[in-house]
Structure 1
């Protein structure tokens, strides 16, 4: 996949890289950032002054509307490096398309494709050394847009800032995860913003997730807001269930994010000849399946964790352990995804995007 870019991005390089100060063997996800970042401002009706400059703080009014009305959207992407030092993104056009879908829902002006990909190429050129090779290593990429107009009137902003940050990363989850089925809280509702990567979606998850952690679970599998009878997402991930040899996942819509890893898993499963069933998944069905032994595995999918196997779930004060297996679909999918991402195998779907 290739995209030609014509827009000029101003570049201000760091005088000295900080890379030698970084302990790449002990990274805490999302807390270390590379030398450069990208920013572009929307004002007077257009996006202008696209600039790459040294990573550092912003000066922003405390009255900026992002603080008062939550006009903020983001994406999560990764860059990978193969054993020959070549760098790749994974399905970046899907991320670009999705951030503009999110932006439109939050009344934020859509960002131009040519500037997005020019910025991405230039950032990768500058900070390629921050991408370490080897399975589990990556450069997490965080594009986001925020409302910057000063004013506390309840109306959309007329000024915005679009930025891209780069953060070196290792494996997000190192073991299987224990989850609890939500019985009271929901992630989103019909007609809401669940399908968008709006910042407020994630902030609203923190409190119920903290309650789950107090009971020994790492994450929540969210249920529908109307009845709490249907399973929809797991924490910040899409969710999959394997019942016998069929892979089941909930359909996307108003409430469920159109996950790029989710779409990739479904495509790989189809390629492997695995039966997939995209439909509503009830709590009762999964509880019955774990009791009769037909539930073989549950796993989440997302950019940060890629694939996150689930070892047990809690529901109505009972904990159900999932069977241990050496033939999990989740392991096969993760291996297939990583072989594409790290250029270790064929890419029959044209998902690899070279950036240097």
Structure 2
């Protein structure tokens, strides 16, 4: 009988997500939180002291100090995945990398190559695959009587709080990099198709005036390899008076049926004296333990590391998404459609698990 691999995990990135993942790992009886690293002393010390583990200013120092590590979670900003992921992969650590895998095709391919050379495996953090709403629709779409997917219309937006107050690095990102990887991965996962071309348009007006030099809103139309389309829209300038910090609406049209999924309104509307809001319970706490969609994702990563689960978002699927969102930005700049069938590695079969 083959023994299971030990899930000794290090966290790279001590921000909001890194702290959440650290707690999830520590509360999983099959995982062991070993250490955290972040160049920011405040972020590093906050997570390390809260969870009683050592903190390090660099990935290299963490790897040297802890040869017992078998896995790492890369929770750095979108544009800062490459170096941390390559260092951990070269050490043979299995990886959970926050979406997107990287913010360039070249970086994504470099991460995948390092993992292959180091014997590491990669899971990409497309957490909406663990949302029961989308899982239910996927099962219905796989049934014999739901028709074939013709079009998917996905609107995923944030209030202006996110790029102006929550993220210090918004100018190095965009609504497409921050939000569309969720949407495109779901479009691929639900339909089983992959994108072959994209045409995008957008507006830069509000955020640049606030010294955040990035796009306010972007709309991208993808043609998929089964002839269907996926229309993605993402904005970063919803007013802060919106009922929730994000707005997420998803529509699937098939040859016979239609599905509407409202994710941001989670079934509770709160009417207070000065506003109406949608309380969010994507992460819940009960009896001192947390649960919810991102926690389920982390728990499955622990199972993935130990070798008991393999149906997770793959590095190839992450590469396809990165290549596609990179093409969105090329289309924005040149005003023309962009083909996504240029790299041999992207043409290899990428079964959607």
TM norm. shorter chain > 0.5: no
Q: Which has the higher strand share?
A: 1
Q: Which has the higher helix share?
A: 2
Calculate the TM-score normalised by the size of structure 1: 0.23
Calculate the TM-score normalised by the size of structure 2: 0.23
